[in-house]
Structure 1
Amino acid sequence: MLIIIKTAKTVRNHWKKSVFFTGIITYGVIYAKNYIQTQDLMRAYCQKAAKYGKEHISPNENLRHVTIILNPNANKRKSTEEFEKYCAPLLHLAGINVDIRKTESEGHAKTLIEEIGGTDAIVIAGGDGTLSEVVTGLLRKNNDSGTKIPLGILPLGKTNSLASVQFPGKKKVERVKALADATMAVIEETIRPVDVMKIEVLSLNEETEKANKPIYAVGSLKWGAYRDAEAIKESYWYFGPLKNYATYIFNGFKNKLTWRCVAQLSYSAPCEGCSHCYRRLETNTNGGGFFSKFMKTDNPHAKYLSVSNPECQINYEKKILTSDLALSTMNITPNQSSDSLRKLIVEIGPDNVEYLDFVKNGIKLEKGEKRDIKEIIEAKTIKISPEDDLQNAWFSIDNEHYEVKPVQITLLPRIINMFCKQENINI
Structure 2
Amino acid sequence: MNILRVVRNNWKKSAFAAAVSGYALSSLKTHIEITQYMSEFSTNLSSTSENVGAPKNVLVVMNPIANKKKSEKTFKKYCEPILHLAGYSVEILRTNHIGHAKAYIEEMANLPDAIVIAGGDGTSSEVVTGLMRRNENVCPITILPLGRTNQATHKYFQIGVQSELDYIKSLCSALLPMLKDDFMYQSVIRYDVINNDDDSEKHLKPIFGLNGFSWGLLKDIDSTKEKYWYFGPIRHYVAAVSKLFSKIWSLETDYVYTPPCAGCLDCVEVRNEESRFLNNFLGKLVNPNRSNMKPQRQLVKNSECSSKQQGKMEANQIDINCIQNSENFSELETQFISSLQPGWDFIKTIPSITSSTIVPQLVLRSRTIQLHPTGETTNVYSIDGEEYDARPIKLSVVPNAIKVFC
Alignment of 1:20-35 (within 5 A): 24=20, 27-28=23-24, 30-35=26-31
Match of 1:228 among 214, 217, 220: 220
* CA distance, structure 1, for counterparts of residue 311 and residue 128 of structure 2: 31
Match of 2:390 among 393, 404, 424: 404
**Residue of structure 1 in register with 2:283 after alignment:** 300
* CA distance, structure 2, for counterparts of residue 236 and residue 50 of structure 1: 46
Contact 2:257 2:368 in 1 (8 A): yes
**Residue of structure 1 in register with 2:330 after alignment:** 342
Cα displacement (A) at 1:371: 2.4
Which structure 1 segments of 5+ residues have no match? 331-335, 421-427
Deviation sequence 1:303-336 (CA, Å, 0-9, x none):
7774122111111112111111111112xxxxx6
**Residue of structure 2 in register with 1:425 after alignment:** none
Letter in 1 for 2:57: H
Give TM-score, length-normalised by structure 1: 0.82
Distance 1:120 1:137, change over 3 A: same
Distance 1:338 1:151, change over 3 A: farther
Distance 1:239 1:208, change over 3 A: farther
Contact 2:340 2:346 in 1 (8 A): no
Cα displacement (A) at 1:195: 1.1
1:373 lines up with 2:356 in the alignment: no
Contact 1:52 1:95 in 2 (8 A): no
Contact 2:125 2:208 in 1 (8 A): yes
* CA distance, structure 2, for counterparts of residue 121 and residue 360 of structure 1: 47
* CA distance, structure 1, for counterparts of residue 70 and residue 390 of structure 2: 31
Alignment of 1:32-43 (within 5 A): 32-43=28-39
**Residue of structure 1 in register with 2:288 after alignment:** none
**Residue of structure 1 in register with 2:108 after alignment:** 115
Q: Report SS of the residue matched to 1:206.
A: coil
Cα displacement (A) at 1:407: 0.3
Cα displacement (A) at 1:269: 1.2
Q: Report SS of the residue matched to 2:330.
A: coil
1:46 lines up with 2:34 in the alignment: no
Comparing 184-193 and 38-47, the one that deviates more? 38-47
Deviation sequence 1:386-406 (CA, Å, 0-9, x none):
11144x511011010101110
Distance 1:125 1:412, change over 3 A: same
Match of 2:160 among 146, 169, 184: 169
Give TM-score, length-normalised by structure 2: 0.86
* CA distance, structure 2, for counterparts of residue 31 and residue 337 of structure 1: 46
Cα displacement (A) at 1:123: 1.2
Aligned pair count reads 393
Contact 1:67 1:122 in 2 (8 A): yes
Deviation sequence 1:270-299 (CA, Å, 0-9, x none):
1111111111122223499xxx9xx9xx96
Contact 1:252 1:355 in 2 (8 A): no
* CA distance, structure 2, for counterparts of residue 63 and residue 209 of structure 1: 39
Alignment of 1:11-410 (within 5 A): 24=20, 27-28=23-24, 30-54=26-50, 64-113=56-105, 114-115=107-108, 117-142=110-135, 147-167=137-157, 168-171=159-162, 172-207=164-199, 210-249=202-241, 251-255=242-246, 258-286=248-276, 300=283, 306-330=299-323, 340-355=328-343, 358=346, 362-364=350-352, 366-367=354-355, 369-390=356-377, 393-410=379-396
Q: Report SS of the residue matched to 1:401.
A: strand
Distance 1:326 1:30, change over 3 A: farther
1:9 lines up with 2:8 in the alignment: yes
Question: Please, what is the CA RMSD of the aligned residues?
Answer: 3.1
* CA distance, structure 2, for counterparts of residue 38 and residue 361 of structure 1: 41
Distance 1:191 1:346, change over 3 A: same
Contact 2:265 2:300 in 1 (8 A): yes
Cα displacement (A) at 1:137: 1.0
Deviation sequence 1:179-227 (CA, Å, 0-9, x none):
1111112211111011111111112222277431111111111111110
Letter in 2 for 1:396: S
* CA distance, structure 1, for counterparts of residue 52 and residue 330 of structure 2: 40
* CA distance, structure 2, for counterparts of residue 185 and residue 301 of structure 1: 22
* CA distance, structure 1, for counterparts of residue 103 and residue 360 of structure 2: 39
Contact 1:91 1:98 in 2 (8 A): yes
* CA distance, structure 2, for counterparts of residue 94 and residue 396 of structure 1: 37
Cα displacement (A) at 1:252: 3.5
Distance 1:186 1:32, change over 3 A: same
* CA distance, structure 1, for counterparts of residue 117 and residue 180 of structure 2: 17
Letter in 2 for 1:375: L
Cα displacement (A) at 1:119: 1.6
**Residue of structure 1 in register with 2:289 after alignment:** none
Deviation sequence 1:16-40 (CA, Å, 0-9, x none):
x787666556545554444343333
Contact 1:63 1:95 in 2 (8 A): no
* CA distance, structure 1, for counterparts of residue 367 and residue 201 of structure 2: 22
Distance 1:299 1:42, change over 3 A: same
Cα displacement (A) at 1:413: 1.1
